[in-house]
Amino acid sequence: MELNTIKPGAGSKKPRRRVGRGIGSGLGKTAGRGHKGQKSRAGGYHKVGFEGGQMPLQRRLPKRGFKSQLLKYNDEITLSDLERLALPEVDLAALKQAGLVSNLAKVVKVIKRGELTKKVALNGIGATAGAKAAIEAAGGSVA
């Protein structure tokens, strides 16, 4: 095999379709664009969602809901995450270091999912009522 004999795989390259080149080609006359109208003309097109002047669907439908941009700064961890972490004191920096919460997180809360047997002291981390009871039952504290 030489560099000058290399060719693409069979069927991997198709020739460009030449339109508007006579009846025999199958794509003569209107060149696959149909008859008249905006789409048939050169340079004639419209933006996405344009409905010919009719009120577009995205404007006909009512606005609904709200998604807070502050949610990206909130995160949660489970009791089983704390069990696996196996640190006596846990704070936000330790959770970020372990990769349990995102680096954007500013507010973290422990939720009651899984079991906790080790004593853990939480600093600057919230907990749900059930999670707080489970942490304190294991000998830990929530500050």
Residue 45: its pLDDT value, please? 84
43 touches 77 (CB < 8 A) = no
Mean of all residue pLDDT scores within the chain: 94
CA pair distance 109, 125, nearest whole angstrom: 6
Class of domain 69-142: alpha beta
- For the chain, what are the domain ranges? 19-49, 69-142
Give the mean pLDDT of 1-30: 94
The model's pTM is 0.56
CB 108 within 8 A of CB 125: yes
Is pLDDT above 90 for 36?
yes
Q: What is the pLDDT of residues 42-62, one digit of tens each?
A: 998 889 999 989 999 999 999
Give CA–CA dist 70/65, Å, rounded: 15
